[in-house]
């Protein structure tokens, strides 16, 4: 039975330096957490780091990394992970999430490349996840990514993700927008996809906007308001998985804080409706 409670739903936004950081500092919006990419913050010093530390005292901190490259061929960056482990402890980070993808080999690609959906790739990724989890002393939370082609696939996207979750004993960052984007681009039922995921593995949610180029082609941009189909899918996500902490993700064309908070309000309203229906 779904015992969803909207009062237990934590909602946050991503922290960015500049005007958004200033708006958060000056208005203290009703947010339950802030998310940052650790690569953009852990090496900063001076006034910005002091301001960031003050915000961490006010809001719980969630980390969403960009450079772990968990599926990549290059060795894991143990120097970065050592810095990250110390910084997470210093800042009291709630969790560390990353992308189920790779982003480099002998250089950083500045993009999130999909991992081939093969048994060999599952084994490779699982081994690397286990190494990172042992080093950090906590489970990784990995995001299902958007992708536009799946060459030489032996497994479906769903089979690939669930195999890694089970074998690596890690958590899932369920990006609801990515489920919708992939369902349109690769012609599957997003509800059936969500219903097949293991409830106990879903630790964190992202919801974001996208760019629809054609009826059967969507680009995952994180640069627009959340669309109505994704809001509807979020409601089903809450019905299925309960009050999982949810980030409103906006990486480009970032509007004033008031507009972001209006979408945060939509997330809370969806949660309230699901809670009311489940009561």
pLDDT tens figures, 123-154: 999 999 999 999 999 999 999 999 998 878 99
List CB contacts of 63: < 8 A, sequence separation 6 or more: 35, 36, 37, 38, 88, 93, 95, 96, 97
DSSP string covering 39-74:
GGTTT--HHHHHHHHHHHHHS-EEEE-SS--TT-SS
Among left, alpha and beta (phi > 0; psi -120 to 50; other), residue 150 is beta
Q: Which of 180, 77, 163, 174 is nearest to 118 (CA)?
A: 163
| Inter-residue contact 181 to 120 (CB < 8 Å) | no
Contact 96, 138 (CB under 8 A): yes
Environment class of 81 (CB within 10 Å of its CB; exposed 0-12, middle 13-18, buried 19+): middle
Nearest 5 degrees, angle CA 177-CA 181-CA 185? 170
Count of Cβ atoms closer than 10 Å to residue 50 Cβ: 10
Domains in the chain: ranges and CATH: 6-278 (3.20.20.150)
Q: What is the pLDDT of residue 4?
A: 52
Furthest-apart CA pair in the chain: how many Å? Answer: 53
CA gap 94, 117 in Å, rounded: 30
Asked whether 140 and 171 are in contact (CB, 8 A), the reply is: yes
Residue 279 pLDDT: 85
| d(C-alpha 247, C-alpha 97), whole Å | 12
Read off the pLDDT of residues 194-240 as tens digits, 9 standing for 90 and up: 999 999 999 999 999 999 998 988 998 888 999 999 999 999 999 99
What pLDDT was estimated at residue 7? 57
Per-residue confidence (pLDDT) for residue 2, from 0 to 100: 45
Mean of the pLDDT values across residues 36-53?
Answer: 93
The reply to whether the predicted model has a pTM over 0.75 is yes
What tokens does 124 get? 């490779």
Q: How many Å separate Cα 212 from the centre of its chain?
A: 21
pLDDT band at residue 57 using 50, 70 and 90 as cut-offs: very high
Both tokens assigned to 111: 């993009």
Q: Report pLDDT for 61.
A: 98
| Alpha-carbon gap, residue 98 to 140, rounded angstroms | 7
């Amino acid at each position: 039975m779904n015992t969803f409670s909207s009062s237990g739903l934590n909602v946050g936004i991503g922290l960015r330096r500049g005007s958004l950081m200033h708006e958060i500092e000056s208005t203290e919006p009703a947010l339950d957490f802030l998310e940052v990419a650790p690569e953009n913050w852990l090496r900063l010093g001076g006034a910005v780091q002091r301001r960031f530390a003050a915000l961490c005292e006010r809001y719980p901190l969630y980390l969403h990394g960009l450079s772990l490259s968990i599926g990549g061929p290059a060795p894991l960056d143990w120097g970065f992970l050592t810095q990250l482990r110390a910084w997470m402890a210093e800042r009291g980070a709630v969790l560390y999430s990353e992308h189920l993808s790779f982003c480099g080999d002998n250089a950083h690609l500045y993009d999130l490349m999909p991992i081939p959906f093969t048994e060999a790739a599952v084994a490779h990724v699982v081994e690397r996840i286990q190494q990172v989890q042992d080093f950090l002393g906590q489970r990784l939370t990995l995001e299902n990514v958007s992708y536009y082609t799946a060459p030489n696939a032996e497994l479906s996207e769903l089979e690939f993700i669930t195999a890694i979750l089970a074998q690596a004993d890690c958590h899932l960052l369920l990006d609801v927008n990515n489920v919708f984007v992939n369902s349109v681009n690769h012609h599957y039922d997003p509800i059936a996809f969500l219903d097949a995921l293991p409830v106990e593995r879903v630790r964190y949610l992202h919801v974001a906007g996208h760019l629809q180029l054609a009826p059967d082609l969507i680009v995952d941009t994180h640069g627009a308001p959340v669309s109505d189909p994704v809001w509807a899918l979020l409601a089903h996500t809450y019905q299925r998985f309960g009050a999982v902490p949810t980030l409103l993700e906006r990486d480009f064309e970032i509007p004033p804080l008031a507009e972001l908070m209006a979408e945060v309000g939509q997330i809370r309203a969806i949660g309230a409706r699901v809670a009311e229906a489940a009561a």
